[in-house]
Amino acid sequence: MNSEKLKIAVLGGTGNIGEGMVLRLALQNLMPEGVKNEIIIGSRSLETAEEAAKKALSELENCGFDTSGIKITGMNNFEAAKAAEMAILTIRFDHVLPLLEEIKETLENKIVISPVVPMVKEGSFMAYRPPAEGSAALAIQKNVPETTKVVAAFHNIPADVVKCKAVHDALVCSDDEEAKKLVMELTRHMGCLKPLDGGPLKQAATMESLTPLLINLAKLNGLKDLGINFS
Q: Does residue number 164 form part of the binding site for a copy of itself (CB under 8 A)? A: no
Cα–Cα distance, 46 to 41 (Å, whole number): 9
Q: How far apart are CA 5 and CA 19, in angstroms?
A: 20
198 binds a copy of itself (CB under 8 A): yes
Closer CB to a copy of itself, 54 or 129, in the complex = 129
188 binds a copy of itself (CB under 8 A): no
Could you say whether residue 227 binds a copy of itself (CB under 8 A)?
yes
Provide, rounded to whole angstroms, the least separation between the CB of residue 7 and a copy of itself.
29
Q: ∠ CA(30), CA(32), CA(35), 5° rounding?
A: 75
| Contact positions with a copy of itself (CB under 8 A) in 109-148 | 125, 127-128
For residue 103, which amino acid is it? I
Q: Which stretch binds a copy of itself (CB under 8 A): 10-18, 25-33, 62-70, 195-203?
A: 195-203
Distant-in-sequence, close-in-space partners of 177: CB < 8 Å, separation ≥ 6? none
- Give the H or E element holding residue 93: helix 93-103
Q: Which of 23, 57, 72, 210 binds a copy of itself (CB under 8 A)?
A: 210
| CA dihedral of residues 216, 184, 189, 79 (deg, nearest 10) | -90
Residues forming contacts to a copy of itself in the complex (CB under 8 A) are: 125, 127-128, 166, 171, 196-200, 202-203, 205-207, 209-210, 212-214, 216-217, 220-221, 223, 226-231
